[in-house]
């Protein structure tokens, strides 16, 4: 299908200042969208109030406004610039909320601005809890038991129907602001007024708690011919109860059976169709009961999101760029994949490595705040690391954080071991390591944390390797063990610390043993096609294929 010729000028709304829950991932998506649209000959009018972005560079868009992202100002720009279309899905929740406001004000109708990428109905269906829930029930999917309340009385009534614990989620907020878990009526009463305040439409959802369930996300894209592809599956290391932005996440999903994964895929495809995101990407979150495999749908973002930025980087598939091309009428089979140049965008990416994302926190800047994680996002940044195995990626990830750790190493604990395990805190990984040291079994740790035993087993393997290395404090660590440690993601510095040596010595030993790091490609296709613009990650496993393409 050719691109749309009835539109020429496209307004793109950015996400404004960096705040917790909405960071520079939207600079990445907005910049990609600008490039993709201009490549096709459209004129791009951009508004964003954040000067520290690449997208507001004067050469990125045809016309750039650094003005406040408030409805009156955007309406003024529409009046002045007369765009034919508005692409609202690249600027996070800010852009979606503004678009809904502009539509309510009648500005879009008055100036005949088409919404592309997502229409108002799809946005509302995905964002309005009640509409979303009934849509899910219509297509035979389960959602946590819930009810919408506008008053305290209504919330009390609903709580008696659902039973505690209950999650409170205000509608139309950022990154789960004001979300809370309450365990009794008093706590409910305490939290509810704040939740009402934070919701743009004074509405909150009371939801059956699925705390402790496994959490997954799928990144899905659809075109106007109704083709749907799954770009990436993401599994949360931390179970339900922690905002996904604050969770350690892993791609692809590691602990699903094929049957469970296929069910989730089928559900995701049904959901994007039912909600009616005609062109573009969505992020859909699921929870699975570890006891019986029961699956429930948690939520959907009908736009480019933090997770889709991660999925893009994890797979090499440029979700924002493709979403922009779909919005102007192309179909997935017509858009070439930039990395291979040969395959079209309807080829689902294949991953032959493991990706780990770890959030970065800044609690020390706010001395009176408790470093405890819940459904309201607190992290200020994140890192992504890639390895051949979860172990390698995780340890690379830990040292990427620049939080003073060079791997899953010994740490002075600030609280009791059990409470560090029980309460989701940023440094829980190190409490798990300590639990191994104290002789806790994987099952016992699982009973406290609800972190899937597969992940715990991998952490245990890292810990066991540390213990093995320790034996060589007074002699040279043998080559086989050294190799294994590097494959498990141990840094030279970490090994040096365990042995009480200098990092330099370990580096020299690595050279002596001729243990070489190798670079592998992120190419969307696991080496099936030749990659034109791949990027690389290091590993200590197998042979390198970078030489051929360099």
Partner 1 sequence: MAKKSVVILGGGPNRIGQGIEFDYCCVHASMALKEEDYESIMVNCNPETVSTDYDTSTRLYFEPLTIEDVFNIIEYENPLGIIVQFGGQTPLNLAIPLQNRGVKILGTSPDAIDIAEDRERFRVLINKLNIKQSPSGTAISLEQAVTIAQRIGYPVLVRPSYVLGGRAMEIVYDDSGLKEFMEKAIEISEEKPILIDKFLEDAIEIDVDAVCDGKTCIIGGLMEHIEEAGIHSGDSAMVLPAYSLASNIIKEIKEITRKISLTLEVKGLINIQFAVKNKDIYIIEVNPRASRTIPFISKSIGVPLAKLATKIMIGKTLKDLHFTREIIPKYFCVKESVFPFNRFPGVDVILGPEMKSTGEVMGIDTSFEMAYAKSQLAAGQNLPFSGKIFISVKDKDKPVIYSIASQFQKIGFEILTSSGTGQFLKKKGMDVVIIPKIYEGRPNIVDYIKNNEISLIINTPSGKKPRKDIVSIRTIAVERGISLVTTIPGAKATLLAIKKLKEEKVKIKSLQQYYKI
CB of 121 to partner 1, least distance (A): 28
Instruction: Give the DSSP letter string of 486-534.
Output: HHTT--HHHHHHHHT--HHHHHHHHHHTT---EEEEE-SBTTSS--SS-
Which candidate, 549, 489, 488, 487, places its Cα nearest to that of 523?
549
254 binds partner 1 (CB under 8 A): no
CB of 447 to partner 1, least distance (A): 31
212 binds partner 1 (CB under 8 A): no
Q: What is the number of alpha carbons within 13 Å of residue 222 lying toward its C-beta?
A: 22
Give the whole-angstrom CA distance, residue 91 versus residue 61: 15
Instruction: Give the DSSP letter string of 51-83.
Output: TTSSTTSTTTSSEEE----SHHHHHHHHHHH--
Residue with tokens 């580096």, as numbered in its chain: 507
Residue in 129, 133, 378, 428 binding partner 1, rule: CB under 8 A = 378
Residue in 37, 50, 169, 207 binding partner 1, rule: CB under 8 A = 50
Q: In 15-151, which residue ranges form alpha helices assigned H by DSSP? A: 25-39, 71-81, 92-104, 107-110, 120-127, 129-138
Nearer to partner 1, 213 or 353 (CB): 353
155 binds partner 1 (CB under 8 A): no
CB of 533 to partner 1, least distance (A): 5
CB of 508 to partner 1, least distance (A): 12
Q: Which range, of 13-21, 151-159, 277-285, 292-300, touches partner 1 by CB under 8 A?
A: 13-21
364 binds partner 1 (CB under 8 A): yes
Give the whole-angstrom CA distance, residue 165 versus residue 208: 7
CB of 487 to partner 1, least distance (A): 15
Copy the structure tokens of residue 538. Answer: 């290091």
Q: What is the number of alpha carbons within 13 Å of residue 548 lying toward its C-beta?
A: 11
Binding to partner 1, residues 171-200 (CB under 8 A)? 177, 194, 197
Give the whole-angstrom CA distance, residue 110 versus residue 130: 29
Nearer to partner 1, 18 or 211 (CB): 18
Q: Which range, of 62-70, 161-169, 412-420, 463-471, touches partner 1 by CB under 8 A?
A: 62-70
Binding to partner 1, residues 329-358 (CB under 8 A)? 338-339, 357
527 binds partner 1 (CB under 8 A): no
CB of 110 to partner 1, least distance (A): 17
Q: Taking the mean position of all CA atoms in its chain, how far away is CA 518?
A: 27
28 binds partner 1 (CB under 8 A): yes
Residue in 376, 449, 458, 465 binding partner 1, rule: CB under 8 A = 376
Question: Per-residue x/- mask for partner 1, residues 492 to 521, rule CB under 8 A?
Answer: xx---------x---x---------x-x--
Nearer to partner 1, 60 or 206 (CB): 60
107 binds partner 1 (CB under 8 A): no
246 binds partner 1 (CB under 8 A): no
Which candidate, 315, 313, 312, places its Cα nearest to that of 324?
312
Q: Which range, of 105-113, 139-147, 286-294, 304-312, touches partner 1 by CB under 8 A?
A: 304-312
487 binds partner 1 (CB under 8 A): no
Instruction: Give the DSSP letter string of 351-400.
Output: -SSEEEEEEE--GGGSTTS-----SS----EEEEEEESSHHHHHHHHHHH
Give the whole-angstrom CA distance, residue 386 versus residue 251: 10
Nearer to partner 1, 53 or 146 (CB): 53
Question: Per-residue x/- mask for partner 1, residues 397 to 436, rule CB under 8 A?
Answer: x-xxxx---x------------------------------
- Is the CA virtual torsion 471, 472, 475, 481 positive or negative? positive
Residue 2: phi, psi to the nearest 5? -75, 165
């Amino acid at each position: 299908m050719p691109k749309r010729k009835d539109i020429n000028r496209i307004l793109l709304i950015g996400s404004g200042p960096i705040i917790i829950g909405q960071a520079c991932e939207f600079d990445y998506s907005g910049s990609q969208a600008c490039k993709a649209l201009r490549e096709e000959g459209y004129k791009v009018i951009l508004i964003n109030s954040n000067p520290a972005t690449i997208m507001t560079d004067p050469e990125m868009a045809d016309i750039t406004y650094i003005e406040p992202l408030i409805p009156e100002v955007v309406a003024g720009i529409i009046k002045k610039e007369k765009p034919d279309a508005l692409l609202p899905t690249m600027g996070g929740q800010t852009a979606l909320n503004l678009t809904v406001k502009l539509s309510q004000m009648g500005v879009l109708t008055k100036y005949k601005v088409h919404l592309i990428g997502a229409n108002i109905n799809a946005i509302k269906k995905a964002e309005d809890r009640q509409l979303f829930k009934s849509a899910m029930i219509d297509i035979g999917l389960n959602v946590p038991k819930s009810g919408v309340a506008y008053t305290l009385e209504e919330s009390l009534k609903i709580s008696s129907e659902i039973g505690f614990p209950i999650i409170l989620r205000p509608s139309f907020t950022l990154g789960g602001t004001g979300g809370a878990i309450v365990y009794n009526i008093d706590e409910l009463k305490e939290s509810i007024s704040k939740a009402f305040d934070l919701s743009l439409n004074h509405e909150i959802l009371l939801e059956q708690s699925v705390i402790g369930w496994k959490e997954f996300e799928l990144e899905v894209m659809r075109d106007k011919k109704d083709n749907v592809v799954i770009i990436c599956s993401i599994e949360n290391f931390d179970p339900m109860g922690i905002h996904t932005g604050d969770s350690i996440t892993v791609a692809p999903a590691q602990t699903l059976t094929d049957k469970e994964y296929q069910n989730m895929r089928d559900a995701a495809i049904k959901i994007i169709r039912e909600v009616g995101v005609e062109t573009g990407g969505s992020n859909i979150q699921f929870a699975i009961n570890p006891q019986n495999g029961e699956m429930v749908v948690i939520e959907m973002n009908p736009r480019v999101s933090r997770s889709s930025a991660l999925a893009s980087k994890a797979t090499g598939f440029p979700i924002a760029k493709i979403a922009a091309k779909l919005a102007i009428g192309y179909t997935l089979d017509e858009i070439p994949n930039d990395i291979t140049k040969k395959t079209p965008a309807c080829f689902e990416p294949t991953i032959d490595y493991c990706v780990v994302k770890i959030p970065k926190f800044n609690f020390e800047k706010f001395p009176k705040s408790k470093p405890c994680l819940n459904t309201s996002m607190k992290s200020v940044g994140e890192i992504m690391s890639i390895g051949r195995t979860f172990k390698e990626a995780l340890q690379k990830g830990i040292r990427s954080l620049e939080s003073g750790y060079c791997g899953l190493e010994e740490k002075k604990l600030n609280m009791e071991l059990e409470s560090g395990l029980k309460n989701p805190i940023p440094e829980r990984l190190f409490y798990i390591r300590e639990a191994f040291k104290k002789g806790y079994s994987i099952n016992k740790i699982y009973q406290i944390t609800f972190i899937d035993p597969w992940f715990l087993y991998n952490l245990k393997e890292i810990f066991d390797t540390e213990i093995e290395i320790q034996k060589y404090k007074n002699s040279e660590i043998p080559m086989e063990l050294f190799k294994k440690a590097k494959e498990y993601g141990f840094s030279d510095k970490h090994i040096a610390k365990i042995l009480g040596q200098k990092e330099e010595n370990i580096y020299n030993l690595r050279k002596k043993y001729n243990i070489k790091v190798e670079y592998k490609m992120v190419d969307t296709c696991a080496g099936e096609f030749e990659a034109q613009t791949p990027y690389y990650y290091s590993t200590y496993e197998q042979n390198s294929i970078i030489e051929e393409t360099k």
